Structure 1
Amino acid sequence: MNRPTSLLEDALSLDAGESNSRGPEKGLVVLVEDCVETSGAFVLHHLIKRFLSPNLSSSDNVVLLVAFAQPFSHYDRILRKMGCNLVAQRENKRLLFFDMLMLECPDDGVEDGLIAFYGNIQKAVEVNSSNKNITIMIDDISLLEVATNGSTKDVLNFMHYCHTLKTQFGCTIIKILHEDIYSSGDGFTFPLQMEYLADITIKAQPLITGLAEDVHGQLTVLNKGTIDGFRNSKGKIHNFHYKIKENSVDYFYPGSRS
């Protein structure tokens, strides 16, 4: 009997199956929204490990990680604890790492800078697109906006460019956004636009009931669903809790550990 390896993978429709042979769905856009009280970075770590799992075909899945928030050493340290060696994955070209920590677009050339940046991503996708599932992960769209001197319009244009890779090459795109920094003023339209573009939205939030010793927070996953390439307006909403361990994350329904 096929069973998902976790509630998160069930919500994302990543059914592990009997042989753990299934990788990421092709052509999905996943948005992870978090806040200061509850970081969503663990979701990215979980999915990196999932997509680079040795149980998946070593030649079929490539992760392209665009890092604005953390250096490679940070991800390597965390993923090693989770049983995934990113150095080895980078050497065998299953992981392509873009270190963008120092990216800063000049005031008079923001658009040109983003076009050049997108060109690098597009080139990497084209080189690895033959018979491969490519997942593009952006660890912090909020910091991309900082790099563009607060130009939300240019960031939106850049994200639209990236979404063309979904259509052209079937890429899956996963991105993190800090929702609470847009909680007031006209800026809140930006996360709304990101949600509109997403097929799946994952919200990492504190517990409604407050702090708990053995629970770190809750996840709400809105899976809009697709039918023959068209969105299903009914969709599905999944709510469950999680606890972060040293080497993994425990997902469970309230009142349950199974």
Structure 2
Amino acid sequence: MFTELNVILGFDHLKPPKGQFVLISDSLTDGSFLIHHFLSLYIKGGWKVCLLALAQSFGHYNAVGQKLGVPLTQAREKGQLRFIDGLKCSLQMYTCAPQEGQGENPLRALRDKKATLRPLYDLVKTQICSEEGVLEGPTLLLVDDLSVLVSLGVSAKDVSDFMHYCRVLMCPTQQGYCRVLMCPTQQSQGAIVSLVHKDADVEDEENSTLFRHMAYHGTVHLAVEGLSSGYSRDVHGQSNLY
């Protein structure tokens, strides 16, 4: 899938990106096809993936994966794919009262303005790291998508802080990060891919602030935009690499 894009970026399923934070933004079109591209890339290569799904259910990703020839259900059963159902967690925060024995909802910040996304970070860390707190081989953290958290009322600052710690965990660029988290340098094996909406016709200051923060921290920015000439039957948009 998207062989030309892999050539431009310099990786494929046998040589996945390491130590990179790939930001996907879309404007007046849907950039989620790139989420499925990176997901299938890692699964086909036999690498580990942690998918934090805030926008869709597992059934959606599995249906798309089947069309791409990627058996996500099998990857999940083998432990290659770790799926965090953020969509379900967010719905539970608004529709269900907390019940004893269910554990802490990692998205309690949706209802408790004093809470942070630290529980969500801790959950991500337990899904992708060994007991020693390190990554075991090339691992992708895929977040789809960050704009959902802002739309549900989480501040851009809290979301940015969450992604900062995820970036330090997955692809530290300075030894100081490893010393603070007491993590060895093998964590450069990790990579992050995340989607943020940046619609040109919508004024959303919090989401715009989040995008600026993510663009600053990202090592690669893939901007998906609709055609200025409007809808076309054959070509629906364009992708820019920054």
TM value normalised by structure 1: 0.73
Higher relative contact order (CA 8 A, sep 6+): 2
Q: Secondary structure, in 3 states, of the residue corresponding to 1:176?
A: strand
Matched letter for residue 199 of structure 1: T
Q: Secondary structure, in 3 states, of the residue corresponding to 2:112?
A: coil
1:33 & 1:98 partners in 2: Cα distance? 22
Matched letter for residue 118 of structure 1: Y
1:162 maps to 166
2:238 & 2:200 partners in 1: Cα distance? 19
Q: Which runs of 5 or more residues in structure 2 are unaligned?
A: 94-108, 173-177, 179-186
2:236 & 2:123 partners in 1: Cα distance? 37
1:139 & 1:153 partners in 2: Cα distance? 18
Corresponding position: 1:21 with 2:18: no
* Alignment counterpart, residue 117 of structure 1, candidates 116, 120, 131: 120
- The two structures, once aligned, show a CA RMSD in angstroms of 2.2
| Structure 1 residues 64 and 185: alpha-carbon distance in aligned structure 2, compared to 1, 3 A threshold | closer
Corresponding position: 1:40 with 2:40: no
Matched letter for residue 176 of structure 1: L
Alignment deviations for residues 149-171 of structure 1 (CA, whole Å, 9 cap, x no partner): 24111111111111111215122
* Alignment counterpart, residue 138 of structure 1, candidates 139, 143, 158: 143
TM value normalised by structure 2: 0.78
Alpha-carbon distance, 1:216 to partner:
1.6
Aligned length: 205
Alpha-carbon distance, 1:130 to partner:
5.0
Percent of aligned pairs with the same amino acid: 29
User: Runs of at least 4 residues of structure 1 off by over 6 A?
Assistant: none
Matched letter for residue 51 of structure 1: Y
Query: For residues 85-234 of structure 1, what are the structure 2 equivalents within 5 Å?
Result: 85-101=71-87, 102-103=89-90, 104=93, 105=109, 106-111=111-116, 114-127=117-130, 129-147=134-152, 149-165=153-169, 166-167=171-172, 168=178, 169-170=187-188, 171-180=190-199, 184=203, 186-187=205-206, 188-222=208-242
Matched letter for residue 43 of structure 2: L
| Structure 1 residues 180 and 110: alpha-carbon distance in aligned structure 2, compared to 1, 3 A threshold | farther
2:39 & 2:10 partners in 1: Cα distance? 16
1:159 & 1:208 partners in 2: Cα distance? 32
Q: Which runs of 5 or more residues in structure 1 are unaligned?
A: 223-258
Matched letter for residue 21 of structure 1: L
2:103 maps to none
Instruction: Flag the structure with higher strand content.
Output: 1
